[in-house]
């Protein structure tokens, strides 16, 4: 059927654009001689993850253990949890996964290492970890070189049940860069810092198999990848969103939310049947990813969602109000696609206006 016949609100994925986005970033990784490990928190779909692997990706990244379990249950065999895992209960779940797939996860402290060592001391398999390096986002990750050296020494001398596979970083501060030139500087500076920590490990006779970096703004403008980086982990590129359109020139927006006009109460106000529970309340107001409002209306360039309630989107635009009727449908380009996908049970793949497949979002809601 034509996708405009789908009941609303609904997550729509333009299949052809998505596949082109997959190819574009895989070609970029290939041209830089690094592995691509896409972060699947954006789409939360084993089906899409397999499309990425079929195109050449070396495994996947996830944000949470629950996502990893869903991916593993559906045939994904090489998974990195790009996050610290410290709960003994979660580590017990990893012990089960490690019996059948290649799974690794992050840590950034001796405290975490001690918890991991204690859980894995009775296991036939070692815990496989990557140390996170803070590179400017002001989130998690090792900051001081002395703390990093202490952690390396502790792993080497006190943690026989942990295997250090590598290090990873995330230059999420690239989203707030004021220009593409600043984005490039953040991209290169974060790599340099990550490689500095890789060098320290080598000097301590702990060479690393994996040196992993990445964020979508850094990976879609053909910026250089420095020698020594082995892997990149962009995620948003698969779908893109309103904020990414300004930051990245080489991919197009594949995902939208189809919504219906349910009211035109004034001569300039339009109400749609989706709100915070379908598109979130997120905004982006800084740097190259800054965008007006809480979502853009695809059919009306320049028109943005002014406000949202739980189940309503509020738009003020006289031209749109005069151009649509109650029950008409429009597409919303979300500000930030990752949390939006997590709100939907399935995606409709569309090609040339026709629905070609319904894909369940099997890892939605897997927050633990």
**What DSSP designation does 135 have?**
-
Residue 195 lies in a domain: yes
Are 101 and 233 found together in one domain?
yes
Are 25 and 129 found together in one domain?
yes
d(CA 147, CA 135): 15
Q: What angle do CA 30, 16, 324 make, to 5 degrees?
A: 140
Are 343 and 315 found together in one domain?
yes
Are 223 and 86 found together in one domain?
yes
Are 51 and 125 found together in one domain?
yes
Domain of 274? 3-9+249-360
With beta carbons less than 8 A apart as the criterion, state whether 321 and 330 touch. Answer: no
Kindly tell me if the per-residue pLDDT of 255 is higher than 90: yes
Side-chain half-sphere CA neighbours of 125 within 13 A: 16
The pLDDT of residue 285 is 94
Strand residue runs (E) in the chain: 10-14, 35-36, 60-62, 78-84, 102-107, 127-133, 162-169, 210-213, 231-232, 255-263, 269-272, 296-297, 307-308, 313-316, 329-333, 346-351, 354-360
CATH code at position 303: 2.40.37.20
Residue 365 lies in a domain: no
User: What's the rounded mean pLDDT across residues 34-41?
Assistant: 98
Tokens 């990245």 — which residue?
Answer: 248
Who's near 205: CB < 8 A, 6+ residues apart? none
The pLDDT of residue 228 is 98
With beta carbons less than 8 A apart as the criterion, state whether 355 and 349 touch. Answer: yes
The mean pLDDT value of the chain amounts to: 97
Are 291 and 316 found together in one domain?
yes
Are 86 and 155 found together in one domain?
yes
d(CA 286, CA 281): 16
Are 127 and 32 found together in one domain?
yes
Q: What confidence tier does 350 reach under pLDDT thresholds 50, 70, 90?
A: very high
- pTM exceeds 0.85, yes or no: yes
**Count of C-beta atoms within a 10 Å radius of residue 250:** 15
Tokens 């996947």 — which residue?
Answer: 60
Are 234 and 255 found together in one domain?
no
Tokens 């001391």 — which residue?
Answer: 121
Residue 243 lies in a domain: no
Kindly tell me if the per-residue pLDDT of 30 is higher than 80: yes
Q: pLDDT tens, 162-217?
A: 999 999 999 999 999 999 999 999 999 999 999 999 999 999 999 999 999 988 98
With beta carbons less than 8 A apart as the criterion, state whether 55 and 23 touch. Answer: yes
Residue 368 lies in a domain: no
Q: pLDDT tens, 146-164?
A: 999 999 999 999 999 999 9
CA distances from 366 to 68, 80, 170, 257, 340 (A): 9, 16, 21, 21, 14
User: Of 208, 238, 268, which one is at a domain's C-terminal end?
Assistant: 238
Are 285 and 336 found together in one domain?
yes
Q: Tokens for 6?
A: 């789908």
Number of domains in the chain: 2
Q: pLDDT tens, 278-326?
A: 999 999 999 999 999 999 999 999 999 999 999 999 999 999 999 999 9
Residue 96 lies in a domain: yes
Phi, psi of 315 (to 5 degrees): -125, 135
The pLDDT of residue 218 is 82
The pLDDT of residue 75 is 98
CATH code at position 55: 3.20.20.10
Kindly tell me if the per-residue pLDDT of 249 is higher than 90: no
Residue 244 lies in a domain: no
């Amino acid at each position: 059927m034509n996708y405009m016949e789908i009941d609303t609100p609904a997550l729509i994925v333009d299949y052809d654009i998505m596949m082109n986005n997959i190819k574009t970033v895989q070609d970029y990784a290939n041209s830089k001689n690094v592995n691509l490990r896409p972060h699947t928190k954006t789409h939360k779909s084993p089906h899409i993850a397999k499309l990425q692997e079929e195109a050449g990706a070396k495994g996947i990244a996830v944000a949470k253990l629950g996502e990893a379990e869903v991916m593993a249950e559906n045939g994904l065999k090489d998974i990195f949890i790009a996050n610290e895992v410290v709960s003994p209960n979660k580590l017990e779940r990893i012990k089960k996964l490690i019996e059948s797939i290649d799974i690794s996860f992050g840590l950034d402290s001796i405290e975490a290492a001690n918890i991991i060592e204690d859980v894995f001391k009775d296991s036939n398999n070692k815990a496989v970890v990557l140390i996170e390096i803070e590179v400017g986002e002001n989130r998690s990750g090792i900051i001081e070189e002395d703390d990093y050296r202490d952690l390396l020494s502790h792993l080497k001398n006190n943690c026989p049940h942990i295997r250090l596979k590598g290090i990873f970083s995330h230059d999420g501060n690239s989203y707030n860069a004021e220009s593409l030139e600043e984005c490039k500087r953040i991209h290169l500076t974060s790599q340099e810092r990550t490689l500095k920590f890789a060098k320290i490990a080598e000097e301590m006779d702990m060479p690393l198999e994996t040196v992993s970096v990445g964020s979508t703004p850094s990976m879609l403008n053909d910026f250089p990848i420095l020698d020594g980086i082995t892997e990149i982990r962009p995620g948003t590129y698969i779908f893109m969103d309103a904020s990414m359109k300004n930051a990245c020139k080489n991919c197009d927006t594949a995902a939208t939310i189809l919504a219906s006009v349910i009211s035109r109460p004034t001569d300039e106000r339009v109400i749609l049947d989706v709100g915070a529970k379908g598109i979130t309340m997120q905004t982006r107001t800084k740097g190259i990813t800054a965008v007006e409002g809480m979502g853009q209306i695809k059919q009306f360039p320049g028109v943005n969602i002014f406000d949202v309630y739980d189940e309503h989107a509020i738009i003020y635009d006289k031209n749109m109000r005069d151009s649509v009727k109650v029950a008409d449908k429009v597409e919303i380009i979300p500000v930030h696609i990752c949390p939006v996908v997590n709100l939907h049970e399935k995606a409709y793949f569309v090609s040339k206006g026709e629905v070609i497949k319904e894909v369940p979002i099997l890892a939605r809601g897997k927050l633990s």
